[in-house]
């Protein structure tokens, strides 16, 4: 017990000191190996065997696909099609940004790519239309998390691999929570801006020209809209595995970015390849480390210790689930979403199952929780990137972020947590659960 506590303390202290996450995981492993009497000779082959799974080939492919789509100009087309419906409403540009993030998330599977792409397209428009820069930056920070919820999601792929669950079931589990978040973020945005006198609406389209404008924007957006149809249709139609779909998305995104939207060129392609290779390498090293660490935690019976500690406080299932939510939010506040999934899944998933939570339902709970953590200080990686993209001081973002958390994130989390049928409906309907 004392060795486990020391190992966890070392992990937390190293993370707070800013030590790279893989090295923090390795340090915790080292404590258990040196003082717990374990033989590292069985750990290294175990970690390698887990990290060399063919399923994980999808990780670098999805990262590269998201980067190509971000730089290829697809975001502009998605914004244009969303603008047709709500462009003339006060606060409508905010709704367009939220919906565009959801659409882009259905292509890229990356929250950071969603923020960079849609933010670079929408934030200058919102600034020109008189939107408060703190509000705009806060909204894109929260909306970009939809890239983590709307499938295909890189985080759900990692969770499914570590937790031994169906990748397709985990993809589907976050769709309805993602839609709920789209609605609540859009509604909160409209409410916050309802009395803002500085917002300027776009000039109305003359009646005789409306059909032509809609036609041009729709035609321009067709290649972007086809992308999620190919990817998701191929996966759920049984024609492709997630790994094959990731590869197809690259084959599709590259020519679309080069020849149709013309955002890709030699320089941006090189940047995408370097970014994707670096990011995938970091994730694979983290997977290798966390596989060994999770094996040691399980052998030390850490999940059972956590369950015993929680049930000693209360046996009320509602409160117990809320305690898991609070733990996940705190973890999400302290580290990035991928690292949080790698750390918490092997420890908390067995606890959730012991409490009667369906593991696919837990995937949706975890996704919303870690998304909330990504925009909640002190760490809040999405909030700080949103501030940089939106050129807004963090101080101006805190108040609108607080309202978005209160009226969008928390209701979405509570609905997802306590109405499991919403998360399980689609996986059950499509026969993956």
Please give the tally of structural domains in the chain: 2
Q: 3-class DSSP state for residue 341?
A: helix
Q: Is residue 285 part of a domain?
A: yes
Same domain, 123 and 255: yes
Q: Over its length of 433 residues, how does the chain's per-residue pLDDT go in tens digits?
A: 578 788 878 877 887 787 877 788 888 888 888 887 777 777 788 777 777 777 778 878 888 887 888 788 777 777 777 666 665 677 888 898 898 888 888 777 677 778 888 888 888 888 888 899 999 999 999 999 888 888 888 888 889 988 889 988 999 999 999 999 999 999 999 999 988 888 876 656 666 666 777 788 788 888 887 877 887 788 777 788 888 888 888 888 889 889 888 888 889 889 888 988 888 888 788 788 877 877 787 777 777 777 788 788 888 888 988 998 988 888 877 777 777 888 888 888 988 998 899 999 999 999 999 889 888 876 677 888 888 888 888 889 999 999 999 999 999 999 999 999 999 999 999 888 7
Strands of 66-176 (E only): list them: none
Tell me, yes or no, whether 23 and 142 share the same domain.
no
Pair (32, 130) in one structural domain = no
- Inside any domain, residue 50: no
Do 132 and 279 have their domain in common? yes
Q: Please, which residues have CB within 8 angstroms of residue 103's CB and are 6 or more apart in sequence? A: 78, 81, 82, 224, 225, 228
Q: Cα 317 from chain centroid?
A: 27
Verify that 24 and 165 share a domain, yes or no: no
Nearest to 90 by CA among 205, 181, 202: 202
Answer left, alpha or beta for residue 131, where phi above 0 means left and psi between -120 and 50 means alpha: beta
Instruction: Count Cα neighbours of 3 within 13 Å in the Cβ-side half-sphere.
Output: 15
- 91 and 27 co-located in one domain: no
Closest CA to 153 of 317, 335, 332, 363: 363
- For residue 226 the two structure tokens come to 């086809």
- Do 63 and 153 reside in the same domain of the chain? yes
Residue 338 lies in a domain: yes
Regarding whether 92 and 3 lie in a shared domain, the answer is: no
> Do both 4 and 108 map to the same domain?
no
At 335, list the tokens: 């580290």
Residues 60 and 34 in one domain: no
What pLDDT was estimated at residue 346?
84
- 46 domain residue, yes or no: no
Which residue from 217, 131, 206, 143 is spatially nearest to 371, judged by alpha carbons? 143
Domain limits for position 1: 1-38
Is 45 a member of any domain? no
Same domain, 123 and 211: yes
In a domain, 167, yes or no: yes
In a domain, 367, yes or no: yes
**Contact yes or no for 404/140 (Cβ under 8 A):** no
Does 47 fall in a domain?
no
**DSSP letter at 54?**
G
Is the domain of 34 the same as that of 59? no
Q: Which residues contact 428 (CB under 8 A, 6 or more apart)?
A: none
């Amino acid at each position: 017990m004392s060795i486990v506590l020391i190992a966890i303390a070392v992990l937390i202290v190293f993370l707070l000191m800013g030590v790279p996450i893989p090295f923090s995981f390795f340090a915790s492993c080292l404590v258990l190996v040196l003082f717990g009497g374990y033989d590292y000779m069985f750990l290294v082959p175990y970690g390698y065997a887990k990290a060399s799974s063919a399923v994980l080939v999808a990780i670098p492919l999805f990262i590269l696909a998201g980067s190509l789509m971000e730089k290829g100009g697809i975001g502009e087309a998605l914004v244009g099609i969303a603008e047709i419906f709500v462009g003339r409403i006060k606060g409508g540009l905010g709704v367009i940004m939220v919906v565009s993030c959801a659409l882009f998330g259905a292509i890229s599977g990356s929250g950071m790519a969603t923020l960079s792409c849609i933010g670079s397209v929408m934030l200058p428009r919102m600034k020109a239309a008189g939107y408060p820069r703190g509000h705009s930056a806060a909204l894109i920070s929260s909306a970009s998390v939809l890239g983590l919820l709307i499938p295909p999601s890189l985080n759900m792929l990692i969770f499914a691999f570590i937790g031994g669950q169906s990748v397709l079931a985990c993809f589907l589990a976050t769709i309805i929570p993602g839609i709920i978040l789209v609605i609540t973020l859009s509604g909160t945005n409209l409410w916050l801006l309802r009395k803002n006198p500085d917002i300027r609406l776009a000039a109305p389209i003359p009646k005789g020209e409306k059909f032509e404008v809609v036609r041009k924007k729709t035609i321009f957006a067709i290649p972007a809209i086809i992308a999620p149809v190919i990817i998701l249709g191929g996966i759920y139609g049984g024609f492709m595995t997630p790994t094959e779909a990731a590869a197809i998305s690259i084959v599709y995104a590259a020519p679309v970015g080069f020849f149709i939207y013309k955002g890709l060129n030699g320089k941006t392609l090189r940047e995408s390849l370097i970014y994707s290779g670096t990011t995938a390498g970091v994730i694979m090293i983290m997977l290798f480390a966390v596989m060994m660490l999770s094996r040691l935690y399980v052998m030390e019976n850490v999940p059972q210790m956590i369950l015993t500690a929680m049930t000693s406080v209360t046996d009320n299932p509602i409160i117990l689930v809320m305690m898991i939510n609070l733990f996940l939010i705190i973890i999400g506040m302290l580290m990035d979403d991928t690292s949080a999934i790698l750390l918490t899944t092997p420890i908390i998933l067995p606890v959730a199952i012991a409490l009667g939570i369906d593991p696919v339902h837990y995937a949706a709970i975890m996704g919303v929780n870690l998304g909330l953590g990504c925009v909640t200080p002190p760490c809040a990686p999405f909030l700080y990137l949103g501030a940089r993209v939106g050129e807004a001081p963090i101080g101006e973002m805190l108040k609108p972020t607080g309202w978005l958390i209160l009226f969008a994130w928390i209701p979405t989390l509570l609905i997802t947590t306590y109405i499991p049928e919403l998360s399980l409906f689609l996986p059950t309907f499509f026969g993956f659960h």
